[in-house]
Structure 1
Amino acid sequence: MVQDTTLEHDIYLFHEGNLRYSHRLLGAHPDTRNGEKGIRFTVWAPHAVQVSVVGMFNDWDGRENPMEKINDNGIWIAFIPGLEKGTIYKYEILTAHGHLQLKADPYAISSELRPDTASVVYPLDNYSWGDDEWMKQRKAKNPYESPMSIYELHLGSWKNIEPEVFYNYRDYADMVIPYVKDLGYTHIELLPLTEHPFDRSWGYQATGYYSVTSRYGTPDDFKYFVDQCHKYGIGVILDWVPGHFCKDAHGLRRFDGEALYEYANPSKAEKTQWGTLTFDFARNEVQSFLISNAIYWLKEYHLDGLRVDAVASMLYLDFGKEDGDWELNEYGGRENLEAVSFIKKMNEAIFEETPDVLMMAEESTSWPLVSAPTYIGGLGFNYKWNMGWMNDMLKYMEMDPVHRKYHHNLITFSLFYAFSENFVLPISHDEVVHGKKSLLNKMPGDYWQKFANLRAFLAYMYAHPGKKLMFMGGEFGQFDEWKDLEDLDWELLDYDSHASILDYTKQLHQLYQDMPALWELDHKEEGFMWIDANNYEQSIISFVRNSRTSNDQLVVVCNFTPEVYHDYRVGVPKHGSYKEIFSSDAEHFGGSGQTNGLPLESVPSPWQGQDQHITMTIPPLGVSFLKRTSVSKEENHEK
């Protein structure tokens, strides 16, 4: 019988699905009993007949340290004196079927380096953080009206010592952070760092949800990485995968001999296309496990946000399944009502505990109100990846320019829904791997045109409403698709074209940071106005980006063909002098130099729905950013 009332209350909340810090109850924690220091082990295994803690300390003999079952709902506890940080352990579980199985701790803070699979005792209270100023500023910041440009990063293939041999988190901090800071990114997004057995799953098929992967070091090493990011003014977002987990024998699958973390119904449990299992979102203890896990990463590691992977796979019962392999919900629909309820509950809990973080959904369907609060019927995220924009734009950019006029809607359609969610525009790892080609190599044309297309695409991306995300390698024009077992082709920077793209990325970020019109009203309709969306014959579009201050207004003109147009008229909303402040076709970026060096004076003659127009040169495969710098001669004369 449990005597500690706090422990009793935590156990009650855990079984109710409302324990938000269940990692403090379960797992391995330093403790003192009767004056002796040791480790308290706690595990949930309701179907088990017997559970023991085993490790080198007892020669992996389950008879030495049996656990006590302290309630009818399957909480087991053992205190083992003399154990300390670094102890390697597993749980030996005798199932109701008479089988003995060894399982890693679902709440382990650290794990052995693969291929070994045991858990490691690792107290979390030894790191001294130095990011107080960052955390204070984060609370006061409005992310919706701030620049956000995210560098998506897979540590092991950004740079490694040799294939499958990696640097430490601290080494990566010293290499990655100055590079990302110099380029002007505001955030780093890391592919999942939860412990996973197979390198090539990239962390998306995990076994240790509370364990930062030991491939790159210890939990304190990773804290150092985050701490240093914050020191340099860079936020850290972690990919997080609450939808499914891998089937490896030491992991969560049939943890106590029965379906426990996964659905018991195979039609709901099996993710056949990935060979994984779906969490049972209806089970209270699983809710405590997952909600606590999200809060754990945000709180313990000072992360600035989570990007939630494969949300659509959680929302739909038929996701990735053939007819007959799934069952309708109680109302005859295909929505997983339990997952919907869980997602809302999860986001409510996260924003109550950490109100200033980012919760980003990778949701690939048209599910409504993904980034809206739950109290108005939303899922409760504050951002959604704009997969529609990504698919349309990549399809368009891969076309030979001669065909683009027949698919003009691909570059304009996104503006019909751009303000229905708080969007991030993502060019992620999924788009540059497994035969999809790199971003640069998707571009058609000869060598020069590939780079020109890439520059134009990036410029349009940064001019389009929504926050930005780019996978590593895109910033310098990686030619090969992402090779997850090798590091990036850094030697390309010895070539002028690639060095120029890197400089272009840096200068584009500088423009982005300096111009509130490119981010201040990202999620509001008044932040965007078409000038001409319909010139499909020449594949030219033009539009205005607005900020809260009218003087910061930008005119953007994009040409997606290799033709140059001189004396091209563009409608402008106000009369005055317009200066081209940025051109993707500038010679120092590797362009052809068809720029507008002199101020462009507006003419008080209506054009394209505007009261004024200017006449300019439109560069080939180029994007021009124009800013009104002074009133027109006519306006001065009137004054």
Structure 2
Amino acid sequence: MAKRKTTTSTAETEQPVQPINPDQPVPSETMPDTASTYSNNGVYSRFTDFDIYLFRAGKHHKLYEKFGSHVVEHEGVIGTYFAVWAPSARYISVIGNFNGWDKGSHPLNVRWDSSGIWEVFIPNIGRGETYKYFIVHESGRELEKGDPYAHWWEISPQTACKVWDTYYEWQDQDWMAERKNKNALNAPFSVYEVHLASWRRDPSNPERELSYGEIADALVPYVQDMGFTHVEFMPVMQYPYAPSWGYQITGYYAPSSRFGTPQDFMRLVERLHQAGIGVLLDWVPSHFPGDAHGLYEFDGSHLYEHPDMRKGYHPDWKSYIFNYSRPEVRSFLISNALFWLDRFHADGLRVDAVASMLYLDYSRNAGEWEPNMFGGRENLEAISLFKEINEAVYLHFPDVQTVAEESTAFPGVSRPVYTGGLGFGMKWMMGWMNDTLAYFERDPAFRKFHQDNLTFSTVYAFTENFMLPLSHDEVVYGKQSLVGKMPGDEWQRFANLRLLFSYMFTHSGSKLLFMGGEFGQTSEWKFDASLDWHLLEFAPHKGVAACVKALNALYRNEPAMYERSFTADGFEWIDTSDRENTVITYIRKGNRPEDTLLVVLNMTPIPRSNYRIGAPSAGTYQEIFNSDSSEYYGSGIGNPDPIQSEESPWHGRSQSIRVNIPPLAAVVLKTV
């Protein structure tokens, strides 16, 4: 009997019949084995009574093993089992190419247990069959819906699903065995954020998006060469509307068909893993679109969305909000989070728009929202859901990370649930991003008046496990590209960008950089066009790319940069008071004193010679990084020779050193 190759289970499938790869249930330690056939009044079913109990309690973690379409052998016949949740329906049938889209030929049977689940086994149809559900609401309203649990969909503008599976012979065992060390909070975590449709396109036909395989051929060696530890994909789940960038999802259990099959996407993940690169997926439990074939009014009622539009409609995105108080919806979302970690070997989830879920008054005026039972504005159901999701994720996959895009001061986002936190592994440091970009956009002549904006981040930097993001949101809608934000002539703009990246990489916290920024993309990001890769033919852009590559190497090779990245004992200011020269100095510390790094930032285009700095300790200091290197399109000013500390007190320290500080540059020194 064939076995599924996966790190999360090795359960045998039900009598696999070639050439179809059956997508069979994978038992977990907390659920009964479902390899047998269960009966619903004589109808083939994959649901046990325990499944129904967990589903209705909001505690089912693997609904993808039950709902959707599954190719099985039943009573000696190969066919497909369909199951869908639609409690307000009075009639449901499967329609597709196999029956000429006949709404009356293949009805589903509603379960006897009032769960609202409908199911049917249809013989002699299998993998690749196109289908939808025809649903008649109690009122007589007729709908045609895609399967919420489908693994593959037609390419937009077509809206039907295809019977498919998530079977794959994984070959990433070495990565999976080691990733607990790669994803740890005391390990380097440098993320390259990628939008699949626009990272790179066919050079001979710029209108054509690359497939998952073609992306893998180019992306894997590029990320490996640049030295990023992880890739984060903007939403890969099935989305029909390209301008949504993937954030308006209709198929939560399917990777986008516009780039290939689910197995093609698995191969992309596998190849990244084989190259030693982790994979984070953008996940969107905050809202979904109102497309006629999607989740909205799925069975004619407000099934997935909250029926009160003060809680169920998002005014910013013109989309609908899940009903976080409904147990079956909670099971849907928890299962979905685990699905991508289980079946696609994702190494973490970056959860989108967390703040919009936490607060009932998010983007709403007075009178447009209803307080919670205690009179507050917190969404208690969403808060409890986040806690349950994170507990489930770290229970089943303790070696992954969840990352919250959360922009408020909500306490304990990245603290354990047992201490009262939400349970995320990390949180985006939006305050750092806003303050830093505002500072760097200023003319260097005026930065001395705003130095506190840059140094304020450490006041709260260790209240959470922060990730420093320079994401896609900062290079769209008229905000300009990163290099476009920088002041000065061409040389100064690129020097400022290298300085910005140097400050980011030497600051406490993990890192995230959106594609294009690493080589100084000059135009704003366009979701429907390739990055301007030809810019790498020019020295300024080539220099920025070389600088980012060097920063990734520095980050990965120096323990002081990551071992204590989330604790205050890993960072110490030397001096932030030299406003006139606009020079900032600080220390990064690892677990060993000899790993300590001294960081010097010159925020002006004026070089400083023999600049005295209080030294962390006595010794000989060597320059190990300089963003002004001529290799990076800099002026080449630096400290090529070792620097011996002197017994001359400075900055409150007994030892000091004299260094040459290049213009608009960062210098990192270490004792040798």
| 1:43-442 alignment, distance < 5 Å | 43-70=84-111, 71-125=113-167, 127-141=168-182, 143-161=184-202, 162=205, 165-442=208-485
Match of 2:603 in 1: 560
Deviations 1:208-235 (A, max 9, x none): 0001100100000000000000000000
Deviations 1:165-206 (A, max 9, x none): 311111111110000100000000000011011011011010
Q: Take 1:400 and 1:279, find their aligned partners in 2: how far apart are those partners?
A: 45
Unaligned runs of 5+ in 2: 1-39
In structure 1, what is the Cα distance between the partners aligned to 2:290 and 2:577? 51
CA distance, structure 2, for counterparts of residue 325 and residue 626 of structure 1: 55
Q: CA deviation at 1:152?
A: 0.2
**Aligned-partner Cα distance in 2 for 1:6–1:613:** 71
Q: Return the letter of the residue paired with 1:31.
A: V
2:141 is matched by which residue type in structure 1? H
- Aligned partner letter, 2:158: D
Q: 5+ unaligned residues in a row in structure 1: which ranges? A: 630-639
Tell me by how many angstroms 1:536 deviates: 2.1
- Percent identity, aligned pairs only, is 49
Of 29-38 and 170-179, deviating more is 29-38
**Map of 1:10 onto structure 2:** 51
> What CA deviation, in whole Å up to 9, does each residue of 1:398-447 have, x standing for no partner?
11111111111111001111111111100000001111100111100000
* Secondary structure, counterpart of 1:535 in structure 2: coil
Q: CA deviation at 1:157?
A: 0.4
1:2–1:8 Cα contact (<8 Å) kept: no
- The 3 A distance-change label for structure 1 pair 142 and 164 is closer
Q: Which letter maps to 1:53?
A: V
1:361·1:370 contact (CA, 8 Å) conserved in 2? yes
More deviation, 156-165/96-105? 156-165
**TM alignment of 1:574-589, pairs within 5 A:** 574-589=617-632
- The 1-side partners of 2:489 and 2:423 are apart by 46
SS in 2 for 1:244: coil
Which amino acid letter does the alignment assign opposite residue 400 of structure 1?
Answer: D
- Cα gap change, 1:626/1:359 in structure 2, threshold over 3 Å: closer, same or farther? same
CA distance in 1, matches of 2:497, 2:596: 25
Of the three residues 52, 69, 73, the one matched with 1:32 is 73
Question: Which residue of structure 2 aligns with residue 634 of structure 1?
Answer: none
Write out per-residue CA displacement over residues 34-80 of structure 1, whole angstroms, 9 at most, x where no aligned residue.
22110000000000111111011111111000110013121000111
Contact 1:163 1:485 in 2 (8 A): no
Match of 2:544 in 1: 501
In 1, Cα distance between equivalents of 2:561 and 2:135: 57
Contact 2:192–2:232 (Cα < 8 Å) also in 1: yes
* Larger deviation, residues 137-146 vs 317-326: 137-146
Q: Give CA-to-partner distance per residue, 1:315-334, whole Å, 9 cap, x none.
A: 00011112211111111111
1:455 counterpart = 2:504: no
Deviations 1:262-287 (A, max 9, x none): 00101100101100111001100001
Q: Distance in 2 between matches of 1:311 and 1:536?
A: 37
Deviation at residue 575 of structure 1 after TM alignment: 1.1
Contact conserved, 2:602 with 2:664, CA < 8 A, in 1?
Answer: yes
User: Which one-letter code corresponds to 1:317 in the other structure?
Assistant: L
The answer to whether the 8 A contact 2:618-2:655 is kept is: yes
Name the residue aligned to 1:633: none
Contact 2:239 2:251 in 1 (8 A): yes
Question: Does the alignment pair 1:471 with 2:514?
Answer: yes
Whether the 8 Å CA contact 2:52–2:115 is kept in 1: the answer is no
Q: Distance in 1 between matches of 2:605 and 2:413?
A: 39
- The answer to whether the 8 A contact 2:183-2:400 is kept is no
Decide whether the 8 Å contact of 1:109 with 1:120 is kept in 2: yes
The 1:273–1:523 alpha-carbon spacing in structure 2 relative to 1, beyond 3 Å, is same
CA contact (8 A) 1:444 1:450 kept: yes
The separation in 2 between residues aligned to 1:212 and 1:615, in whole angstroms, is: 55
CA distance in 2 between partners of 1:11 and 1:583 (Å): 61
Q: Secondary structure at the match of 2:576?
A: strand
SS for the counterpart of 2:79 is strand
Runs of 4 or more, structure 1, over 6 Å off, are: none
**Equivalent-residue separation in structure 1 for 2:527 and 2:363 (angstroms):** 24
Q: Secondary structure of the equivalent of 1:469?
A: strand
Q: What residue in structure 2 maps to residue 20 of structure 1? A: 61
Deviating more after overlay: 509-518 vs 300-309: 509-518
Is the deviation greater in 135-144 or in 220-229?
A: 135-144
Moved more, 443-452 or 577-586: 577-586
The TM-score normalised by the length of structure 1 is 0.97
Kindly state the Cα deviation for residue 577 of structure 1 after the two structures are TM-superposed.
1.2
Deviation at 1:139, TM superposition (A): 3.2
Is the Cα contact below 8 Å between 1:156 and 1:164 reproduced in 2? no
User: More deviation in 551-560 or 8-17?
Assistant: 8-17
Is 1:528 equivalent to 2:577 in the alignment? no
CA RMSD, aligned part only? 1.2
Task: Kindly provide the amino acid, as one letter, of the partner of residue 129 in structure 2.
Answer: T
In 1, Cα distance between equivalents of 2:222 and 2:46: 51
Offset from partner CA, 1:120-151 (integer Å, 9 cap, x none): 110222x1110011100113556111111100
Question: d(CA) in 1 for partners of 2:181 and 2:447?
Answer: 44
Check the 8 A contact 2:47/2:66 in 1, yes or no.
no
Residue 117 of structure 1 contacts residue 250 of structure 1 at CA under 8 Å; is this kept in 2? yes
SS at match of 2:587: strand
The letter of the residue matching 2:199 is W
- The secondary structure found in structure 1 opposite 2:628 is coil
Equivalent residue letter for 2:514 = F
- In 2, are the aligned partners of 1:555 and 1:625 still within 8 Å (CA)? yes
Tell me, yes or no, if structure 1 residue 614 matches structure 2 residue 642: no
Structure 1 counterpart of 2:400, one-letter code: V
Instruction: Give the Å deviation of 1:163.
Output: 5.2
**Residue 571 of structure 1 aligns with which residue?**
614
**Equivalent position amino acid for 2:548 in 1:** T
Question: Following the alignment from structure 1 to structure 2, what is the Cα–Cα distance between the partners of residues 277 and 6?
Answer: 29
Distance across 1 between alignment mates of 2:372 and 2:232: 35
For residues 165 and 185 of structure 2, the distance between their equivalents in structure 1, rounded to whole angstroms, comes to 36
Q: 1:5 to 1:498 in 2, by over 3 A?
A: closer
* DSSP 3-state at the match of 1:245: coil
Q: SS at the partner of 1:93?
A: strand
